[in-house]
A and B are shown apart, each in its own frame.
Chain A
Amino acid sequence: MGSPTFNLDEFIGQKYRQGFFTPLESDTVPHGLDENVIRLISEKKGEPAFMLDWRLQAYRHWLTMTEPKWSSVKYPPIDYQAISYYSAPKSKKVGPRSLDEVDPELLRTYEKLGVPLAEREMLAGVAVDAVFDSVSVATTFKAKLAELGIIFSSFSDAVKEYPELVQKYLGSVVPYTDNYFACLNSAVFSDGSFCYIPPGVRCPMELSTYFRINARNTGQFERTLIIADKGAYVSYLEGCTAPMRDENQLHAAVVELIALEDAQIKYSTVQNWYPGDKNGKGGIYNFVTKRGECRGDNARISWTQVETGSAITWKYPSVVLRGDNSIGEFYSVALTNNHQQADTGTKMIHLGKNTRSTILSKGISAGHGHNAYRGLVKVAKSAVNARNYTQCDSLLLGDQCAAHTFPYIEVKNPGAQIEHEATTSRIGEDQLFYCQSRGLSAEDAVAMIVNGFCKEVFKELPMEFAVEAQKLLGISLEGSVG
């Protein structure tokens, strides 16, 4: 007997209902990687010679590297020769033909999130020739930006149209020698976004990959380059709260941000790639290199990320604080459920005088999830009067999950002020019962507590994004939308 009460293990153990069957991609170059494949990619994209040279240099360097093993994430060996490195733009032959063929659970998620119909098709990978509503939106949008001299285009277009800008800045924050995955990306990157804000211009709207229709199938090796010239400001949104369908298991993107004197870049990410099933099968490996450089004085770069998807998330959005008085910020929510793993954090490299950085990391682990914060705060000898504040909080749901914190602090200047705070807490049965006895369902109670835990990070997100992110956390924890 006894009343039917909430069972936490059962709740967090619910299966990921957004799973879907993935049809095979057919229009691709053969599997494997050699110089010919790289030449082929560059040729198909009609790239100038400097781009091909750079790709080949990266490839040759990559051959000398070995895959890093230092993170806390575990995955079977990746066969790099089994990956196809180029996919032609999708035709109607691949993917579901209409929403009728898409997993109804996925559609219900979109509905719950309030995703407009036309965008649902795009997200679900329905092979439509054009997404009409969004195209018109994107066109007016682009015209408005052009008036201000803002360049916002696909990476492929930028390489052809603004080669001198690309050549000047590409690899200047993340050189191809940086790490194994960034190097691979440099050799084979498919497409991505390019954005340049001219001096003194404040970008009047949040730039989003969402509007960038012409580059929507950027796939697994995405490359983003954002430059805010002197005194410019831009807020950039990456990703989408709705679960994204993708064929490729390995994602190795590179994002480079450059903020010149007095410039500010805000980069917000909501990442919800397929996390794999309840037993940890399938799901995306998200191995991303993101780094920004405050190249001029008084520059400011903020990373805000909400990571709920992917089987493995491995990324450290970082800021190099080169300019004097420059500011770096990192706000992160990473949620792992079922068998998801996350090893994420940041690096704040203080080089300039009076540089400041703030790190606020919130890790949530449920199910068998593993969540690690790994962060480096480095203060060079030149960084007089540097300050850092770091706060790492972990929240545990259930007793099968894990949270780790690996803070690294290297200080070469005795005048630096470094603070580090860390807490670990657990959602208790007593808290859930208390909320239930006030009429809230256990699911709502968990969502409420988790959202409360993440509040400080959400307030850094642009408004609509914040609202969506809140809903997303609830859904990710339920594993259902019902």
Chain B
Amino acid sequence: MNTLLEIRNLHAGVDDGAAVRPILRGLDLTVRAGEVHAVMGPNGSGKSTLAYVLAGRDRYTVTSGEILYDGHSLLDIAPEERARAGVFLAFQYPVEIPGVSNIYLLKAAVNAARKHRGEEELDAMDFLALVRDKLTTMGMDEALLYRPVNQGFSGGEKKRNEILQMALLEPRLAILDETDSGLDIDALRTVADGIQAMRRSDRGIVLITHYQRLLDYVIPDHIHVLAQGRIALSGGPELARELERRGYAWVENGAPAEKSLPSGAAPAGRTATSTPSGE
């Protein structure tokens, strides 16, 4: 399996115009093609920052370290170029765009990626056929295609719409930022099925989540716990239950000392051996 994403000693934060407020403080993560990684952690541990940094959001500034995607640094690449190259971010809070129909954005996005790959752009009919097929999988109403992007969508519809976009764009690296939050149990199931359907040997998926419940449906290969801006603990899928039982405080207060935890065959992140000191 080849390495899709390699993050080395990443320090990053939010630039408020005057200074960069540090959030990620030495994060390491390696995602190989075919793997699903879950990144868990309490509020404020830097999960969304990681997502935004990977997607290239303005003001989320890398101060040191490296992000290699397919062996190339992502740091100087514009967000749209990352997207066209196969990096996808499912937003925790999908953005509303009044006046622009959902299908218009979807088609523009798909064609931007196709153009980048040197493929012919899809015309309206071909695109409609493609999108209808994916809609059925996501259990979405076709009417959502003709409504303005995310405007007036319920929380569940917004999240499904993100997964629909992912299914259409077929990214090589998908980062899903709390896609499970705000979903009822049925919607969670549909979304999880959508994600599960995306698992492929040439695709890497990073699931960012608070809770273990999504991981009941989408069993990750690796679980990482983010605390104070770095991966404090990595392990296999069973780590989720452990966390559920003990809470994040357990990690923050030095759980990594417990060596008994089984970890995945190929530890993706750094299995921390020292307690993160209270910075």
Contacts and interface: CB of A to CB of B under 8 A. Distances in A.
Interface residue range, chain A:
20 to 34
Contacts of B97: 431, 434-435, 449, 452
Nearest to A362: B99
Contacts of A448: 100, 104-105, 108
B141 interface: no
Contacts of A439: 80, 83-84, 108-109, 112-113, 116, 169
A437 B78 contact: no
A428 B96 CA distance: 10
A442 B112 CA distance: 12
B112 A452 contact: no
B129 interface: no
A4 B48 CA distance: 19
Nearest to A441: B80
B60 A438 contact: no
Interface string B69-107: 000001111111011100011010011111111001100
B99 A449 contact: yes
Nearest to B79: A436
A444 interface: yes
B202 interface: no
B83 A438 contact: yes
Interface in A389-440: 425, 428-431, 433-440
Contacts of A454: 99
B78 A438 contact: no
Interface residues of B, number: 41
Kindly name the residue among A5, A433, A454 whose own CB sees the greatest number of chain B CB atoms within 10 A.
A433
B61 A433 contact: no
Given A2-B62, A431-B95, A440 B76 contact: no
Contacts of A5: 56-58, 78-79
Contacts of A438: 80, 83, 105, 108-109, 112, 165, 169
Nearest to A5: B58
A6 B58 contact: yes
A436 to B, nearest CB: 4
B142 interface: no
A75 to B, nearest CB: 32
A344 B257 CA distance: 71
A2 B148 CA distance: 32
B216 interface: no
B15 interface: yes
A454 B99 CA distance: 8
- Nearest 3 CB-CB pairings of A with B: A452-B99, A439-B112, A452-B100
Nearest to B58: A5
B94 A434 contact: yes
Nearest to B84: A439
23 contacts: A1-B63, A1-B75, A2-B15, A2-B62, A3-B75, A4-B77, A5-B56, A5-B79, A6-B58, A431-B95, A433-B55, A433-B57, A433-B58, A436-B79, A436-B80, A437-B80, A438-B80, A438-B108, A439-B169, A440-B105, A441-B80, A448-B108, A449-B99
Contacts of B108: 438-440, 444, 448
A453 interface: yes
B173 to A, nearest CB: 12
Contacts of A6: 58, 78-79
A455 interface: yes
A438 B170 CA distance: 11
Contacts of B148: 452
B61 A2 contact: yes
Nearest to A2: B61
B279 to A, nearest CB: 21
Contacts of B116: 439
A1 B83 contact: no
Interface in B168-191: 169
A4 B80 contact: no
Contact of B79 (A437, A449, A452, A453): A437
Nearest to B114: A439
Contacts of B88: 437
A440 B99 contact: no
B19 to A, nearest CB: 13
A435 B108 CA distance: 9
B83 A436 contact: yes
Contacts of B56: 3, 5, 436-437
A3 B91 contact: no
Interface in B105-125: 105, 108-109, 112-113, 116
A436 B56 CA distance: 9
Contacts of A4: 76-78
Contact of B109 (A425, A430, A440): A440
A439 B60 CA distance: 19
Kindly name the residue among B63, B91, B95, B165 whose own CB sees the greatest number of chain A CB atoms within 10 A.
B95
Given A3-B62, A452-B101, 20 more contacts: A2-B60, A4-B76, A4-B77, A5-B56, A431-B95, A434-B95, A435-B97, A437-B55, A437-B79, A437-B82, A438-B109, A438-B112, A438-B165, A439-B80, A440-B109, A449-B99, A451-B100, A452-B97, A452-B104, A454-B99
Contacts of A433: 55, 57-58, 79, 95
Contacts of B77: 3-4
Nearest to A442: B80
A430 B95 CA distance: 7
Nearest to B113: A439
A34 B76 CA distance: 65
Contacts of A429: 58
Contacts of A437: 55-57, 79-80, 82-83, 88-89, 91
Nearest to B99: A452
A363 to B, nearest CB: 14
Nearest to B62: A1
Interface string B35-70: 000000000000000000001111011111000000
A424 to B, nearest CB: 12
Given A3-B75, A436-B80, A453 B99 contact: yes
Interface in A8-45: none
Contacts of B80: 435-442
A474 to B, nearest CB: 13
A435 B62 contact: no
Contacts of A451: 99-100
Interface string B136-171: 000000000000100000000000000001000100
A473 to B, nearest CB: 13
Contacts of A444: 108, 112
Contacts of A440: 80, 105, 108-109, 112
